[in-house]
Structures are given as C-alpha cells and as structure tokens.
Chain A
Amino acid sequence: MSSFFVLFRKEFKGQLRTYRFLIVVAVFFVFGLGTPLLLKYLHALIPAEETVIGIPEFTSADAVQSFISSLGQLGLVAAILVAMGSVAGERESGTAAITLSKPVGSGSFILAKLAALSVSFGAAIIVGAAGCYLYTVVLFGNPGGLNFFIANLLGALYLLFCLAVTVMYSSFVKSPIAAGGLSFVTLVAIAGTAGLPGIKYYSPGALVSWAENVATAGGPNSWWVLLVSVVLIIMAIVMGWQVFKKKEL
C-alpha cells in the first residue's frame, strides 16, 4: 500500500505544480459566487420591457438549486477535461513505463490517480459551495445548512462517478482525446437516462436531480440511485485496473 501513498503524493503535487488544482478550484469558486449573484441581479441585467415572460422573484432555494445544476453540467465537463489524460497521457508520453518498471502495483497506480483527482474536485466543491452559501445568505437569506450540505454531498458523489468513468476510459486507451470522447458520450448518455421512466430510479445521472430536490427541500429520497452509483464507481475502478493490468507499456 505504501506505493499508493507515494503515487498519490506525486499526483497531487503534479496537480498543484501544473495549476490544474488551482484552475478547477477557481472555476468552481467563480460559479459558486456567480450563481446567486446572477439570479439576484437578473432583473437588472434584462430589463422588463425586453422579456416576453416575466422573470419570477428568486429565492435562496432557487440559488442553491441553480448551483447544484451547474455542478452537474460544469462538473462533468471539468472532470472529463482534467481526468482524460490521467492514465492515457502517461502511457502516451512513456512516463507510465518507467514508473511501472518499479515495484508499483497497477491498482495503486490507477487508484492514486482517482484519489488525487477526487481530492482536487472535493476541495473545489467545498470552495464553490462556501462561496454560493455565503452569497445566498447575504442576497436571499439562509437556504438551510443541512439540506445545502447534503445536496453538495450528492453533487460530489456524482462528480466522483464522472471521474471514475473517465479514469477507467483513460486506462483503456492510449489517447487522452479518445478517453475524453468515450467518457463524454457515456456520461451524457447516463445523464440522459435520469429523465427516463423506470431507469431514473437507478441511474447515477439522477444524483443531480435528487440533489436539486434536497436543496429545495422537496421530492423523495432515491436510495437505489445512491447504491447503484457507488457500485458503478467501484466497478469502474476495478475494470480500469484489470484492463490496465493487461496493457503492454
């Protein structure tokens, strides 16, 4: 297990040094602050005479819901962009061959990448959510701390799912672009199933709508979605590891 921590440390340091960590955190922070601000001043930005349908008065629940929704869309794209080269890029450049010629398990190699990416995105969500919460309280009133926390936790789980799928594809193919393309198609398709009757009760894509419901304190809990998402995350890790183990470097 010690090689996992060495690799995790290297991965995280790499994200700091190459500014990927900073960029992800900054993007989430801007969205966190910007979402309640945009809703508050939407009336001012779009004059009433220019709108066909009247813009409603937004509440703190709307601000949080909008932030969670952005997390699902923006987070998906950010996760793919940051994670698509994680394994494929190392195979393509040749760094994986040197690292894996040392006493390093391929499982540790994959897991360390996912763990470091998860920490970065976790930090980004915390910073973005803090900004969103602060501005929502100031501009609209308290949205309810516990619901806000749970909604972000579900959003974080969805991003972990996106990262796991992207890292899995990244270990399947040698080209980061191909890994990104495969991940995008898969994740958009899964997000689409969140609206399909029957499947929506089991699709990880429904995590975002569940989180939105929690944020607005309405709608039922979807425990099957939670369970299926966790199982699929584990499956993505195991599949990525098993396929990567058989790859020639």
Chain B
Amino acid sequence: MPAISCRGLTKHYGSIVALDNLDLTIEDKVIFGFLGPNGAGKTTALKIFTGLSRATSGKAWIAGEEVVSHSCSLQSKIGYLPEEPAFYNWMTAKEYLTFVGRLFSFSSKEIKTRCGELLELVDLSRDASRRISTYSRGMRQRLGIAQALMNKPEVLFLDEPCSALDPLGRAEVLDTLVRLKEQAATIFMSSHILADVERVCDIVGIIDRGKLVVESGVEELRQRFAHPVFEIEFEESAAPLIGLLESLPWVEKVSSEREDNVFKLRVSARDVATAKAELPRIISGSGLTLRQYQLVLPTLEEVFIELVGNKRD
C-alpha cells in the first residue's frame, strides 16, 4: 500500500489552475522531495493532502485512507509543518508540545515522555521553558518539526522546511531531517531549494505550473535527464581546442573559463561512449599540459533547470 497517492488531483482558484491533474504514488518509508519553483502548486498539494484544503476534482489517499477535509481519523495519522509555522507565542515549547499531545488524547505520562524525546531530537531541550516569542526562526522551525512528530505520524508533510532560514538555521533543520530518516516514517517535503532535496531525499517529484513534470530517484534523474559533462583543466589556454571540439558530431556544447592560471573546458557530450574514447586522444594530440580530467554527473539543479527551464522556453 503506498503511503501517499493521488489521481487527477486538480485545484482551481477562480481562473488560476494551481494543480492540474496531479497523479502521484509514493511508497512507504521514503523521503520524497516535491520540487518546483515558487507558485508551482507545491503548497496547494500539501494542503489538500493534509485535509486543510479541498480539491476541485480528483482524489487522494494517505496511509490507505481517502483524504476528506478536516477528517480527525486522517489527521491522527499525519504530521504537518507549514512553510512558516505559527505558534501561540505566550506558550513555552514544552507547553505547546503538551497542548499538541493533549489534542491527540495522550496520557500525561505519554506526553511527558514524548515531549522529552522530541525536544531532544530537535535540540530544544535547553530552551524548552522559554517563551516561543523569544525563539529564532530556526528554533521555531525545529519546534514545528517536533509538533508534527508528536503522534509518531505514518506520513509527515513538511512545507519548505528550510526556506527563509539563514545557513545555520538550514543546517540545523536538515540535520534534524537526516535524523528523522532513522524513525522510518514517510516524509513528503516540498522545497524549491535543490541542494536540500539532494541532501536528504530518496525520490524527487518536480512540479511546474501545477503539473508533475517528472517523478524519479535522485540518481536516476541525473542519469536520465542531463548529459554528463567532461571537465578538463589545462595550464595553458585551451582556445585552439575549442573550435576543434565544437566541430565534432558527438560534442553537444563546449564552454570555457579561466581561473587564475588554470584554463577550464566543460564539454557536454551527445555520445558519452565516443567522448570517453576520443577525448583523451585529442587532448594528448593537442600538446597542452593537462592538470585535471574528469567526468561529472550534473547536479539536481542542472536537471531542474533543464526540465523546468526548457518547458518555459
């Protein structure tokens, strides 16, 4: 049984189509990164999955249960962190988690134990008795993760958990997510920060203008959607090589740059096998002094730009 699935999920806000016929199947116990530019429909999908918003058409199932707006049964199975979590600022973190525990009808003993565990997990134990109003953004985000985990959810929804955080705050939250991997829940994380998704997610779905562009594993995505690049560094100018390489049929693109006294060439190949065989021979024949030669896979960012950017062109 998939942890999350939806068929034909569509959401209209007046004439704006926020989600367009979204089909998605996410297996149990994976971290799914839902990528897309701002306004692509990520938050809309997330709100429908958590029952906080209604789809115009289509259906969704979470942990085997059909999503119905404000369903207590569904909400006892999920955890949710909004993009900018808001709390009752007059409470302390401990009081807030106790309040959340009570909403799940936990006993006082269970609440005490769970609060201790969660505050430890998100590294807020020392600040648990401070008012939330005094918390930094990173601390609020971590408290948001803690409240979402109170009921040991089968599926955890995180909406842009690292957006608007400074580098230190981002690192704190990502560290927490990496630790969460060990808790074996399914995590659905929306983000437009590719590096974050690359770091923690197993599977990625890319959405643009309400439509799912692709759904795949991170590595598989790199292999499928972007051509490998050969990075070659010389001690002398590589200008004579550029023209030659550009004329070859198995070369797609050549770019060059100079950094101090190092001349770099980036060669994208249409036919990687031929490039692997031919490039060393061409370099050797050029008489240039080789510093470095490597085949690099594209980053998720390059895949993303290729998929989303190409569609927009």
Q: Which residues of A are interface residues toward B (Cβ below 8 A)?
A: 2-3, 6-7, 9-10, 14, 17-18, 93-95, 97-106, 245, 248-249
Contacts and interface: CB of A to CB of B under 8 A. Distances in A.
A100 B100 CA distance: 11
A94 B103 contact: no
A101 B78 CA distance: 8
Contacts of A106: 70
Nearest to B95: A13
Contacts of A3: 103, 105
A95 B304 CA distance: 33
Contacts of A105: 70, 72
Contact of A2 (B73, B78, B105, B151): B105
Contact of A100 (B70, B76, B102): B70
A248 B53 contact: yes
B10 interface: no
B116 interface: no
Nearest to B144: A98
B88 A103 contact: no
Given A10-B99, A248-B54, A98 B90 contact: no
Contacts of B105: 2-3, 103
- The size class of the interface chain B forms with chain A is 20 to 34
B190 interface: no
Interface string B59-75: 00000000001101101
Given A9-B102, A98-B80, A101-B51, 14 more contacts: A18-B90, A94-B84, A94-B86, A97-B52, A98-B144, A100-B52, A101-B52, A102-B100, A102-B103, A103-B72, A103-B76, A245-B69, A245-B70, A248-B52
B5 interface: no
Contact of B99 (A6, A94, A245, A248): A6
A7 B88 CA distance: 12
25 contacts: A6-B99, A7-B103, A14-B88, A18-B90, A93-B86, A94-B86, A95-B87, A95-B88, A97-B52, A97-B82, A98-B80, A98-B85, A98-B147, A101-B50, A101-B75, A101-B78, A102-B103, A102-B104, A103-B76, A103-B103, A106-B70, A245-B69, A245-B70, A248-B47, A249-B47
B52 A17 contact: no
A26 to B, nearest CB: 19
Interface in B25-62: 47, 50-54
B46 to A, nearest CB: 10
B91 to A, nearest CB: 8
A104 B72 contact: yes
Which of A94, A95, A101 has the most C-beta atoms of chain B within 10 angstroms of its own C-beta? A101
A6 B87 contact: no
B53 to A, nearest CB: 4
B26 to A, nearest CB: 19
B70 A99 contact: no
Contacts of A249: 47, 52-53
Contacts of A104: 72, 75, 103
A140 to B, nearest CB: 42
Contacts of A248: 47, 52-54
A102 B75 contact: yes
B177 to A, nearest CB: 18
B41 to A, nearest CB: 14
Contact of A14 (B53, B86, B90): B90
Contact of B88 (A2, A6, A10, A245): A10
Contacts of B70: 100, 105-106, 245
Nearest to A109: B70
B103 A6 contact: yes
B99 A98 contact: no
